[in-house]
Chains A and B, each alone.
Chain A
Amino acid sequence: MSFNSKSNYEISKKKVGYVPRIDATQETYDALGFMSGLEVHQQLLTSEKLFCHCPAGIFHEHDDYNAELIRHMRPTLSELGEYDGTALMEFKTRKEIVYRINNENACTYEIDDTPPFPINVDALEKALEISLLSKLNIVGEVHITRKQYLDGSIPAGFQRTAILGVEGELELPSKKIRLIQLSIEEDSCREISDVGHVRVYKTDRLGMPLIETVTYPDFKNPDEVKDGCDYIRFLNRSTGNVRTGMGAGRQDVNVSCRGGSRVEIKGVAHTKWIPELTHNEVFRQWALLQIRDMLSANLNNIKGWKVSSVGVKDILSILPELEEKETIIAINLPGFKGALSYFTQPGQMFADEISTRLKVIACIEKPNMAHSEEFESILSEKHWKLVQTRLKASKEDSQIIIWANEDDISTAIETVEERCKLALTGVPNETRKSFEDGTTIFERVLPGADRMYPDTDSAPIPLDDNYLNNLNKNLPTDVIDNYKILKEWGVNEEVYTYIFSKNLFPIITKIVDKIGVNPKYVCAFFGHEVKFAVGHYQGPEQFNFERIFKLFKYLKSKGITFELAEKMLPELIMHPQMDFESILTSMNFKKYSKKEILSKLPLLNEKFSEGKEIISNIKRKNWVMGKLRNIAIGNIELTDLSKEV
């Protein structure tokens, strides 16, 4: 009976016990030993970058640059005097990193040709306020540290970063979450492209001040992770110290299953993606553990396991997109039958773990790889037979074929062998790149703690008690306290997210306290009407929510009922310079007294009744209300009017 990779995939998916998230319960996650923690990154709202005087927040299109330069990142020795194996392998392939520089937002500091200027004090202060709010133990002296990155995302090869506080605690509505630390750091480059041996970055975002809040792995299910992340973001926003908008907040999500390893899902832009990503990751790890167990049972010699490879260009010259200078090799994976097509994530199998590594480490792009357990192979059965014969493969083996430049071949074989060997031990520590559909792919090997060393270019910065006490005086109230107040007011939970994400609580309390509007009404107004209007009408600039306070104040002073506010919103958003008076004029609003409006009732009632024998009171009421609605809004509360009708 011939091997069917499709059914192998389905069977393995069942074995893993994969269920869609909607069908998963706490028991599902407890059984897998779900564990997750967060690293929440948030850009600070400052005018300048962290270690130079370039403006922060000025961005450019990919092609809008003034100069380009090239760097190669070289692994340096670790603290233990060893090179990181994968880092060295990556170096061997000589990735050429190209940086695009725009004179408007990058100087010689960003590209590591000028030493750092003293740290941006405004950024430090804003980050400290958030640290205090996060109940962290604030350090006595800030030490700038260099954190190595070999991917090129920072031209120096390291990021300047510093711890401001350790061991904090956040009280979420459902549980308490412990914080490991909060650091201030410089943001990295934005990637433009990464093809073959060339990776291109732009430097506009590079060096912008950023904070990173790191939690303990206290989250026990995917939704909890999202809630925790939202909470941290709301807390950051409650200070008014942070940037908002695309890319201003990003998180790395650490996940593991029981017996698995810490895997970091990098740069998740939206918290709403977190549940699906963490759900799939915990199952992926579970699947990798099963693959390990399966291989352990099948292989005789785990320690001495290795691949064999041969050139097969002569038999496979039919491959698509094959270039003349490329060679083709076939790699035999002894005893791996059934492993390559083993389920790992929705739409992915173990072979994808290998191909994504090949791209990163050996610079080999798909589709320059084929394997013997693909659902649909580009090779015919006959060709596979020829390859297997040449490899002297047994029935228990599986094969991979790679076509690439001669120079990349040896790294490619090493990469395949290394990933397969890692499969024999379980889940490799790695960082993974996320996709909107909730799946992930390999990004790089997870670096250890040994990549930190002191920045000899910067002096330590003392933080004395007086300074911190002064900062403490100006802090906003805790998000959790605000949350409790909203509950007390009886505000519907569905509007909480909007209120906290836009940091509206201070404006809401101002409207409630100073104008005396019903809090539940104000919250609903923001959570529904304002949210809708801001989402549908485009103004020349970002809407300033403070205008709503002024609007309510104006309406009250004119004796106009608040119901008119909703109607005024579109104009308010589209024309932020327009005064309230003019908005009302443009809406044809006319002031009527209650008496004037009520005086129209008899006539309307009469009109409705004309020619009708039986009069439904409800129908009458609706009809009359409809007729009066336009002149009533703003002049009389509709509920009051309804009673009169």
Chain B
Amino acid sequence: MDNDIFQGYKGEALELLKKYKVRVWGAVSAETTRGSFEGTVLPRSENDDDKHIVIKIITGYNIGIDTRTILSMKETGYKKANYKIPEKDFPYTKGLPKVKLFGTGGTIASRLDYRTGAVIPAFSPGELYGAVPELADICNLETEKIFAVFSENMGPKQYLALAKAIGKEIKKGVDGIVIGHGTDTLHHTGAALTFMCQNLPIPIILVGSQRSSDRPSSDAALNLMHAMKAAGQSDMAEVQVCMFGPTSDEYGLLHKGTRVRKMHSSYRSTFRTIGDTPLARINREEIIPIKKNYNKRRNDKNVNILPYFSDKVTMLYYYPGMAPDTIDALVDSGYKGIIFVGTGLGHVNKELYPAIERAHEKGIHMFMTLQTIWGYVHMFVYDTGRDMMAKGIIPAGNMLPEVAWVKLSWVLGQTDDPEEVKKLMLTPVNDEITLREPYNGYLVYQGGVPEVDEFIKDVHK
């Protein structure tokens, strides 16, 4: 009961609240050595100190009162906040596609609780309609909360559950599926679902927001509209990530789940297709294909769900002077697969060779990917490369390191046979390795170069 009345308060602050019989949500009038303060006592964040009591003053601002200055306090009223997102029935429109939204805990649409600062996700169709009424012009929506985890806690268990849920939904009959997801590991999930859900008849769209939807400039609403449109109306039956193209509110990009990567910690335009172009551009009016070849939407329900995942795969980000015991330790801990993230064309130092040989002898499956992110692993150029191949490390082409980790986990969930593993790894499911890198597949502009600066000025970033 105490916890409820004094939400988040501890130590000195808690003692004072108890002493003066002041509750959280109570209207309080406090006399202090710095003068008097009036407002409503708010819950305190658990990680904050025990020397302050937070109140919301009448002008709407929050302030903290130093407990050491408090002379007396009095509760003069009480009004507990009762917060709820308004629901409006999501209207059914004949002729619009049927889209299913899976919730995973990412806050694609949410509202911040003004008083506590906690984020309250909007999720039911009614809540979403209340927040983004434009959705009703795009599709007929159904939602299902599959689990609620933060993006960084999404993992193998969730991939499997999602893949199975997608399979079930397709069997039931739906025009497209949208998965609301935190952005940090959106591309890991994109890869996992590409491998686990093959021969898709409909689009599967992963979407998130880089700025929470409680702020007027959030990218959430537009991302959601784009995602619903792509799911319901696009003829690209692939696992895709749908996020902002530029940081401006202009258009979104649809990226293949296997080639996309989060490239900036906070930009809205953080997701980029690496080593290739995105599948398509999307705005509220139209979907403009960029790639000519893609898997087309079909009318059947013949999806192939392959829900496999081994948790015995790890990644090793190489650094100069890395000691062999790092590999030994992984092997001794029972890992069956290692994705190396090597320098340059795919290199590690010679000191690691004995450990690599030992790992190979123990049957560990090892693949090489790149710290450079862009480009192909190429292990024939230098002796080191050839040595390493001889010692059992297989180059993974231009597969992104995170994707290689997801794929090897998926592969080792199915087989342990070295030849089979190699074959599955190097046979692309959907462009995780591409045969060619187009000239506009690698673009990292350098500011300060006159023509780049000119471009940046002319085109909305």
Q: Which of B431-461 contact A (CB under 8 A)?
A: 447, 453, 456-457, 460-461
Assess whether A180 is interfacial by the CB under 8 Å rule. yes
Cβ-defined contact, B117 with A454, below 8 A: yes
Chain B residues positioned under 8 Å from A114 (CB to CB): 266-267
Assess whether A323 is interfacial by the CB under 8 Å rule. no
Cβ-defined contact, B69 with A111, below 8 A: no
Assess whether B157 is interfacial by the CB under 8 Å rule. no
Chain B residues positioned under 8 Å from A103 (CB to CB): 447
Assess whether B347 is interfacial by the CB under 8 Å rule. no
Interchain CB contact (< 8 A) of B216 among A150, A449, A462: A150
Q: A65-B457, A77-B85 are in contact. Are A141 and B59 (CB under 8 A)?
A: no
Assess whether B214 is interfacial by the CB under 8 Å rule. yes
Q: Which of A154-184 contact B (CB under 8 A)?
A: 155-158, 161-163, 166-167, 180-181, 183
CB of B99, distance to nearest CB on chain A (Å): 21
Interchain CB contact (< 8 A) of B66 among A140, A166, A456: A140
Chain A residues positioned under 8 Å from B64 (CB to CB): 139-143, 460, 462
Chain A residues positioned under 8 Å from B215 (CB to CB): 76, 112, 146, 148, 156-158
Assess whether A75 is interfacial by the CB under 8 Å rule. yes
Over the window 204-216 of chain B, the binary record of Cβ atoms lying under 8 Å from chain A Cβ atoms (1 yes, 0 no) is 0000000101111
Cβ-defined contact, B457 with A67, below 8 A: yes
Chain A residues positioned under 8 Å from B429 (CB to CB): none
CB of A535, distance to nearest CB on chain B (Å): 40
Chain A residues positioned under 8 Å from B59 (CB to CB): 163, 180-181, 214, 449, 452
Assess whether A465 is interfacial by the CB under 8 Å rule. yes
Cβ-defined contact, B60 with A449, below 8 A: yes
CB of A37, distance to nearest CB on chain B (Å): 12
Cβ-defined contact, A167 with B36, below 8 A: yes
Interchain CB contact (< 8 A) of B217 among A68, A156, A462: A156
CB of A518, distance to nearest CB on chain B (Å): 41
CB of A118, distance to nearest CB on chain B (Å): 16
Q: What is the CA–CA distance of A147 and B67 in the complex, to the nearest angstrom?
A: 27
Cβ-defined contact, B62 with A454, below 8 A: yes
Cβ-defined contact, B114 with A143, below 8 A: no
CB of A189, distance to nearest CB on chain B (Å): 13
Cβ-defined contact, A143 with B62, below 8 A: yes
Q: What is the CA–CA distance of A70 and B130 in the complex, to the nearest angstrom?
A: 25
Assess whether A74 is interfacial by the CB under 8 Å rule. yes
Chain A residues positioned under 8 Å from B382 (CB to CB): none
Q: What is the CA–CA distance of A140 and B65 in the complex, to the nearest angstrom?
A: 4
Cβ-defined contact, A462 with B52, below 8 A: yes
Chain A residues positioned under 8 Å from B62 (CB to CB): 143, 145, 163, 452, 454
Count how many chain A residues have C-beta atoms less than 8 Å from C-beta atoms of the other chain: 63
Over the window 41-83 of chain A, the binary record of Cβ atoms lying under 8 Å from chain B Cβ atoms (1 yes, 0 no) is 0000000000000000000000001111111111111010110
Q: What is the CA–CA distance of A69 and B52 in the complex, to the nearest angstrom?
A: 41
Q: What is the CA–CA distance of A76 and B217 in the complex, to the nearest angstrom?
A: 10
Assess whether A255 is interfacial by the CB under 8 Å rule. no
Chain B residues positioned under 8 Å from A532 (CB to CB): none
Residue of B nearest to A148 (CB): B216
Q: What is the CA–CA distance of A465 and B117 in the complex, to the nearest angstrom?
A: 28
Q: A76-B111, A113-B268, A462-B66 are in contact. Are A453 and B214 (CB under 8 A)?
A: yes
Assess whether B79 is interfacial by the CB under 8 Å rule. no
Cβ-defined contact, B63 with A141, below 8 A: yes
Q: What is the CA–CA distance of A66 and B248 in the complex, to the nearest angstrom?
A: 15
Chain A residues positioned under 8 Å from B63 (CB to CB): 139-143, 163, 166
Over the window 463-476 of chain A, the binary record of Cβ atoms lying under 8 Å from chain B Cβ atoms (1 yes, 0 no) is 11100000000000
Interchain CB contact (< 8 A) of B61 among A66, A79, A112, A162: A162
Assess whether A115 is interfacial by the CB under 8 Å rule. yes
Chain B residues positioned under 8 Å from A138 (CB to CB): 34
Assess whether A605 is interfacial by the CB under 8 Å rule. no
Cβ-defined contact, A76 with B213, below 8 A: yes
Q: What is the CA–CA distance of A441 and B52 in the complex, to the nearest angstrom?
A: 44
Interchain CB contact (< 8 A) of A67 among B57, B119, B222, B456: B456
Residue of A nearest to B120 (CB): A77
Count how many chain B residues have C-beta atoms less than 8 Å from C-beta atoms of the other chain: 60
Assess whether B35 is interfacial by the CB under 8 Å rule. yes
CB of B25, distance to nearest CB on chain A (Å): 14
Cβ-defined contact, B460 with A111, below 8 A: no
Chain B residues positioned under 8 Å from A70 (CB to CB): 248-250, 460
Cβ-defined contact, B35 with A167, below 8 A: yes
Q: What is the CA–CA distance of A7 and B286 in the complex, to the nearest angstrom?
A: 56
Residue of B nearest to A115 (CB): B266
Over the window 112-151 of chain B, the binary record of Cβ atoms lying under 8 Å from chain A Cβ atoms (1 yes, 0 no) is 1110010100000000001100000000000000000000
Assess whether A108 is interfacial by the CB under 8 Å rule. yes
Assess whether B168 is interfacial by the CB under 8 Å rule. no
Cβ-defined contact, B69 with A77, below 8 A: no
Residue of A nearest to B222 (CB): A72
Interface centre among B65, B215, B268, B456 (most CB of A within 10 A): B215
Q: What is the CA–CA distance of A158 and B62 in the complex, to the nearest angstrom?
A: 16
Cβ-defined contact, B66 with A158, below 8 A: no
Cβ-defined contact, B461 with A456, below 8 A: no
Assess whether B58 is interfacial by the CB under 8 Å rule. yes
Assess whether B86 is interfacial by the CB under 8 Å rule. yes
Assess whether A450 is interfacial by the CB under 8 Å rule. yes
Interchain CB contact (< 8 A) of A69 among B37, B211, B460: B460
CB of B144, distance to nearest CB on chain A (Å): 23
Over the window 56-89 of chain B, the binary record of Cβ atoms lying under 8 Å from chain A Cβ atoms (1 yes, 0 no) is 0111111111111100000000000001111000
Chain B residues positioned under 8 Å from A148 (CB to CB): 215-216
Q: What is the CA–CA distance of A162 and B250 in the complex, to the nearest angstrom?
A: 33
Assess whether B302 is interfacial by the CB under 8 Å rule. no
Q: A108-B267, A449-B58 are in contact. Are A141 and B216 (CB under 8 A)?
A: no
Cβ-defined contact, A69 with B65, below 8 A: no
Interchain CB contact (< 8 A) of A113 among B131, B247, B249, B457: B247
Q: What is the CA–CA distance of A72 and B223 in the complex, to the nearest angstrom?
A: 13
Assess whether B313 is interfacial by the CB under 8 Å rule. no
Cβ-defined contact, B221 with A74, below 8 A: yes
Q: What is the CA–CA distance of A111 and B32 in the complex, to the nearest angstrom?
A: 40
Residue of B nearest to A214 (CB): B59
Chain B residues positioned under 8 Å from A141 (CB to CB): 52, 54, 63-66
Residue of B nearest to A87 (CB): B216
Assess whether A271 is interfacial by the CB under 8 Å rule. no
Interchain CB contact (< 8 A) of A74 among B216, B246, B266, B460: B216
Assess whether A120 is interfacial by the CB under 8 Å rule. no
Q: What is the CA–CA distance of A166 and B65 in the complex, to the nearest angstrom?
A: 12
CB of A169, distance to nearest CB on chain B (Å): 10
Cβ-defined contact, B216 with A76, below 8 A: yes
Chain B residues positioned under 8 Å from A77 (CB to CB): 85-86, 111, 130-131
Cβ-defined contact, A71 with B266, below 8 A: no
Cβ-defined contact, A163 with B217, below 8 A: no
Q: A111-B247, A141-B66, A462-B49 are in contact. Are A69 and B461 (CB under 8 A)?
A: yes
Q: A70-B250, A81-B84, A81-B86 are in contact. Are A137 and B36 (CB under 8 A)?
A: yes
Chain A residues positioned under 8 Å from B453 (CB to CB): 66
Assess whether A190 is interfacial by the CB under 8 Å rule. no
Assess whether A567 is interfacial by the CB under 8 Å rule. no
4 shortest A-B CB distances, which residue pairs?
A141-B64, A157-B216, A140-B66, A137-B35
Pairs across A and B, CB under 8 Å, 22 listed? A67-B461, A68-B460, A69-B247, A70-B250, A71-B248, A73-B216, A74-B216, A76-B215, A77-B85, A113-B247, A137-B35, A138-B34, A140-B34, A141-B65, A142-B64, A163-B59, A181-B57, A181-B61, A183-B61, A453-B113, A460-B48, A462-B49
Known: A163-B57, A450-B114. 14 other contacts (CB 8 A): A66-B457, A67-B457, A70-B248, A73-B217, A113-B268, A140-B51, A140-B65, A140-B66, A143-B63, A449-B58, A453-B214, A456-B117, A460-B54, A462-B66
Instruction: List residues of A whose CB falls within 8 A of some B CB.
Output: 65-77, 79, 81-82, 103, 108, 111-115, 136-143, 145-150, 155-158, 161-163, 166-167, 180-181, 183, 214, 449-454, 456, 459-460, 462-465
Instruction: List residues of B whose CB falls within 8 A of some A CB.
Output: 32-37, 48-49, 51-52, 54, 57-69, 83-86, 111-114, 117, 119, 130-131, 211, 213-218, 221-222, 246-250, 264, 266-268, 447, 453, 456-457, 460-461
